[in-house]
Structure 1
Amino acid sequence: MRIFALELNNDIKGLKERKEYIELLISKLPDPDLVLLPELAICSYMPNQKIWEYADQMGQDTSLWAIKLAEKYNTFIGVGYVDYEDENYYNRYLIADKKQAYGIVTKSEGEAAVFKRGKYNNIIKTPFGNVAVAICYDSRRKHFYENIKDEQISLIVFPHGSPANPKKDFEETKTNDYFSNLYKDAFNVPVVYVNSVGQLEYMPGIMGKLMKKLKFRMNGKTKIYTEEGLKISNDLKEARGYEINLAEKKREKDLTFYGDDLIKGNLFFRYFILRLDIFMGIRRYNRSVKKKL
């Protein structure tokens, strides 16, 4: 399969504008079989409740758009979007071709003040095999590994809307390479890390204040991790492409976790600052959803 990951400009806003922008990029790809877009690609990554105004209704509009686009360009499309279902908002990702949407994955540990959190499925069954999808932070969490470790997998996709300190470029690259290569080696399948570039919008809570102070932004770093296949040359700066033979495979190695985390990190930050931020975020989310009912 000719697989492409598109690194989108997060500063382009509006559903109509972004759909046109995405289609323009896809139209320039050389014979794509699968096009993978970042987290919340359809509306842009917004870590605040403003994103609710762009919510789909049970994925209906996003599915139809992806199916039509897939038919027009004879490809599969993976796209992230915000969804509304059963009086809650979700951070989701689907894969579709010209016939149908094959399934959705919901971010389990979504932005606490913005999305409903839970323990959700991570597998989308497609004609080219089971695709394991972990949206952003979920890719580093144990529940994702537990969901896929006994499954046959043909491809792993990590759609991100991931901001980082632009002054720590080396550290960001090293971290991405570390956890992506762990999964590539454990399952012996390609891993696609696809992120956006651009400004980070307002994020509530302690994390948001810290990120604003350090001038976090979306730095991209989209990459296809594979030791097989051929790299596809193209003139599109947003595109990373590989031609790879996909086949379902069983896990060959175990992964080691630090509690529920794949990356050890700062324990004080994780168990005190982050936990408090999540707790306060969930309270803010529940209050806001209740007001809208």
Structure 2
Amino acid sequence: MPDFNLLVTLDVLLAEGSVAGAARRLRLSPSAMSRALTRLREVTGDPLLVRAGRGLVPTPRALELRGQVGMIVDGARAILRPAEKLDLATLERRFVLRTSEGFVETFGPRLIAQIREEAPGVTLQFVTKPDKESAPLREGEVDLETGVIDRTTAPELRALPLFDDRWVGVARVGHPVLDARMTLKRYGAAEHVQILRRGLHSSEVDEAAAASGAQRRIGIIVNGFAAAVALARDTDLIATVPERHTDGLRCGVGTFVLPFAIAPFTISMLWHPRLDGDLAHRWLRSCLRRACCT
């Protein structure tokens, strides 16, 4: 296994051209520095510094190594140095955010406004979230993701709550279901849009309705919130969607409280732990929290 400490010693020796001078800079005894030079000669197979009168002069091999060693040592110091203060005004970076339908329409404008004001060189790329697979975060394809944490969430991911949400019903303006308080009977009699999530028909709403004595009559099945809201807006179908998450989608539809109890849920942001200490990523996370809490 190479002793990388020898690179620092070699760098100083070549810069000083003197065992005594290198020893002073590294705060070593002359004998310790002499032993280090002996070790370097063994490793490189070259004398490196040879006697010329009262001093030492570098060999051709040492002159060849001087520039290379200096760059390597400087690079190592830069890697091990604490992260410098983040300069948002000059930051140029692209972040990929993976979200479910409705999130961008609801929270995107506030997030973009913050980014433009604080770091105009940053670009956001939003990609859809068709499933809860953690590979995009793990493999670095995605920087940040939003969603509900459950037993399928990869345990190594970091998470922070963004907001609490609840299910609500939506129907077109003028729909008869909006004329009076929603009851279990009226809810069960209506024709519903069901949302396909995680590869299965969504069960949370169906189970909660059934537990209260209402059976949903499914007319159409779609794979996202945007399609469900759009159909509810332009047909007599009704849909059940997350309230805050779809606020940006629900323009032009009426909203009603569900006639049965159903547990609220928390939307969180998730990221891979390798990005914990990244100053730019920390800043992005703070921006997202502010956008969702406004």
Tell me the TM-score normalized by structure 1. 0.20
TM-score, with structure 2 as normaliser? 0.20
Larger radius of gyration: 2
